[in-house]
Amino acid sequence: MPRAKADGVELEYDSFGDPADPPLLLIMGLATQMIGWPEGFCELLAGRGFHVTRFDNRDIGLSTQLDDAPAPDLVAIMGGDPSTAPYLLEDMARDAVAVLDTLGAQRAHIVGVSMGGMIAQEVAIKHPERVLSLCSIMSTTGDHAVGQPSQEALAAILLPPGTDRESAIERGVTVLKVICSPGYPPTEQWMRERTAAAYDRAHRPAGGARQFAAIVASPDRTGALRELAVPTVVIHGEDDRLVDVSGGKATAAAIPGAELVLLPGLGHDLPEALWPVFADAIERNAARAA
């Protein structure tokens, strides 16, 4: 696999489609490797005329793990003291730009899901010259008054990591049962296969805690989002228990001219039945950039 380099980290990535097509960068969410973007979905987007790239964020998958960093004090960070966060979302946005640099892409369509949506917003805010269009999926603005998880979802993602393969898979399945789409429920087999694949590729749960610290320690983006001038579509599930739909509504309300796509039955995942809906919205928004 190729790698991009930025700020002392290396980022694993792969691509789909014709390099001559317009670049589209996929940014994944909290504690989730780039394989969280299913190959079939990447191929669907490539078939719509994009050169699609997905990558492992720092501290996850096969990208650099910052295990030498001090452990973040999550209680202090959630209490308003961000000093122990090893990095912020804006640092992760620079990582995304480094992937574009490695690809030789001056500008790209940026698509992010969950934490990846937050990072995509940061790319548009801090590096607007690199963004052709923005798609923020099941994400939020950083305003703590919106987009908050249900108590059940928060408890699930804060469960301690598994101590071996079997317990790690069980934990992953427990989380998925809480956050996945009630209108498009996955099978038990799918959930086990997904969590097993992630464990076997790279199981490094400490990085997820540092990513969570980056989310909580990063400032509210609402004011900066109001200054954006980029074609934007915001997609959110009406039944999202991890990032409440109010987060998507607030994101769309903040960005001038943003399209808001609300999907009943969608939770906090990418069910295959809705891939064409996601692809349609991304393609339609990208056309606005032309």
Catalytic residue, chosen from 59, 91, 143, 240, is 240
Catalytic residue, chosen from 114, 133, 136, 139, is 114
In contact, 25 and 99? CB cutoff 8 Å: yes
Residue 14 class from Cβ within 10 Å (0-12 exposed, 13-18 middle, 19+ buried)?
middle
Angle subtended at Cα 98 by Cα 57 and Cα 196, rounded to the nearest 5 degrees? 20
> Which amino acid does the sequence have at 239?
D
Residue 152's Cα: distance from chain center in Å?
A: 21
In contact, 119 and 215? CB cutoff 8 Å: no
Which two tokens mark 225?
């989002």
Instruction: Tell me if residue 101 falls in helix, strand or coil.
Output: helix
Which two tokens mark 151?
């108590």
Strand order in the sheet with 131-137: 3-6, 9-16, 51-55, 23-27, 108-113, 131-137, 232-237, 259-263
Among left, alpha and beta (phi > 0; psi -120 to 50; other), residue 276 is: alpha
In contact, 136 and 253? CB cutoff 8 Å: no
Distance CA 214, CA 70 (A): 13
Which two tokens mark 28?
């994944």
Q: Does 144 qualify as catalytic in the annotation?
A: no
Q: Does 240 qualify as catalytic in the annotation?
A: yes
Q: Are strands 23-27 and 108-113 parallel, antiparallel or unpaired?
A: parallel
Catalytic residue, chosen from 91, 236, 268, 269, is 268
Q: Does 280 qualify as catalytic in the annotation?
A: no
Give the residue numbers marked as catalytic: 114, 240, 268
